[in-house]
Amino acid sequence: MTGRKTPAADRIRALVAAGLFLAIGPVMAAPSPSICASAGQAVREEGFVALGGIEQWVTVKGADCANPVVLFLHGGPGNPLSPYADALYGAWEKDFTLVQWDQRGAGRTFGRSPPGESALSVERMAADGVELAEHVTRRLGAKKVILLGGSWGSILGVRMATARPDLFHAYVGVSQVVSYRDNSAASYAKATALAKAAGDEKTMAALAAIGPPPWENPRNFGILRRATRAYEAKSSDPAPRAWWAPAPGYDTRERLAETEEGEDYSYLQFVGRKGDGLFSKVDLAKQGAAFAIPVFLVHGAEDLVATPEVARRYFDGITAPRKAFVLVPRAGHDPNPALVAAQYRVVMQQARPGAK
């Protein structure tokens, strides 16, 4: 589920409708030794890691490699955080070692290892994430990492956290997605109600034309997303424009092109050509409700994509050693300062204690 508004994302919707220094580029072998020689040592490593049989782009940044590690799972799918991580999360580097990963089909991973005609799957991508967590623990000499997944990444995060709790101190879900059925129905109902209350005949007509989900037409998700984004903008605070300017190295013609192509590919994989994409198969409740690690959900109160009511019902049904649900005022589905600040507080105050 797209976490930001980009030209590529707009183009995708249009097409359907009418994410120690190592020089950038080399492969970091998965069974690599620890690079953390001593406390106080800064780490900055960027390169391709062999995961799931292909080379995938990973960055590791932090002021002190003795700090706890946070592994981020970006949204989309196809929206890598790597080009924007310094702007959104750079301030965290004094307290944590941050790992960003361009997932299969996204960003620099798409550029190096294009999937061709092969389909993405939640199972394969979650397995990639587990391999990465194993690599990161070895590479940084850490016993476990803190797992943070947002939107689409929250789907992978739940699967990874329940499959391999031995690798994670805690799971932090941001804008937690629960199921295609529940999330889509609630999103459609809320957007329709808001349009009706506002006398917004144009949006009401667009939503009435597609009808409530489930859908077979891949155009429909984009139509609903345009409506939810417009209404979230009325009730939440925007992110700074500077957040979405790609960092140096990600702003070249080649990097921008592979990012856009990855977004095209991943979006169509997400919705499917007949409503049979990745999202249609998501139902986290069927995975089971028992977690062996602490679980913390951070949710925008104005989220119209993964509505807080659906996330709260899911949260109430899970068991975990510790759990907390944090509702953030003036925040929607997409990242903004309030939502990122709430993530930091949860990771710092609840997930960090005892983590290494």
Residues 253-266 as b/e (b if ≥16 CB within 10 A, e otherwise) read eebeebbbbbbbbb
Beta strands in the chain (DSSP E): 21-22, 27-28, 43-51, 54-62, 69-73, 97-101, 145-150, 168-174, 295-300, 323-328
Q: So what's the pLDDT on residue 21? A: 28
Q: So what's the pLDDT on residue 118? A: 78
Mean pLDDT across the chain: 91
Q: Inform me whether the pLDDT recorded for 6 exceeds 70.
A: no
Q: CA-CA distance, 25 to 31, in Å (whole number)? A: 18
Q: What is the average pLDDT across 180-206?
A: 98
Of residues 145 and 116, more confidently modeled:
145
Query: What residues form DSSP beta bridges with 283?
Result: 179
Q: So what's the pLDDT on residue 221? A: 94
CATH of 7-351, one of 1.20.1250.20, 3.30.70.1560, 3.40.50.1820, 3.40.50.300: 3.40.50.1820
- Residues 227, 207: contact at Cβ < 8 Å? yes
Q: So what's the pLDDT on residue 28? A: 52
Burial class (CB in 10 A: 0-12, 13-18, 19+), 207: buried
* All structural domains of the chain with their residue ranges: 7-351
Cα→Cα distances 190→36, 42, 83, 208, 262, Å: 49, 46, 32, 13, 30
**Residue 224 pLDDT level (bands cut at 50, 70, 90):** very high
Cα→Cα distances 173→73, 152, 161, 275, 300, Å: 10, 10, 11, 25, 12
Q: Is 252 left (phi over 0), alpha (psi -120 to 50) or beta?
A: beta
User: Residue 52 contacts by C-beta under 8 Å, 6 or more apart in sequence?
Assistant: 104, 124, 127, 128, 131
Q: So what's the pLDDT on residue 39? A: 74
Per residue in 313-335, pLDDT (tens digit) is: 999 999 999 999 999 999 999 99
Per residue in 148-177, pLDDT (tens digit) is: 999 999 999 999 999 999 999 999 999 999
Cα→Cα distances 261→66, 150, 278, Å: 37, 21, 18
Q: Inform me whether the pLDDT recorded for 210 exceeds 80.
A: yes
Q: So what's the pLDDT on residue 255? A: 97
Query: What residues form DSSP beta bridges with 108?
Result: none
Q: Find the range with the poorest average confidence among 100-104, 106-110, 284-288.
A: 284-288
Q: How far apart are the first and last CA of the chain?
A: 31
Amino acid symbol at 274: K
Tokens of 334: 């997409």
Q: Inform me whether the pLDDT recorded for 12 exceeds 50.
A: no
Q: DSSP of 312-325, one letter per residue?
A: HHHHHH-B-SSEEE
Q: CA-CA distance, 100 to 73, in Å (whole number)? A: 7
- Residues 120, 266: contact at Cβ < 8 Å? yes
Q: What is the average pLDDT across 107-130?
A: 94
Q: So what's the pLDDT on residue 3? A: 46
Q: Three-class SS of residue 24?
A: coil
Q: CA-CA distance, 2 to 295, in Å (whole number)? A: 23
Q: So what's the pLDDT on residue 98? A: 98
Tabulate helix, strand, coil % of the chain (nearest 5). 45, 15, 35
Considering only CA atoms, which of 173, 169, 146, 168 is closest in space to residue 315? Answer: 173
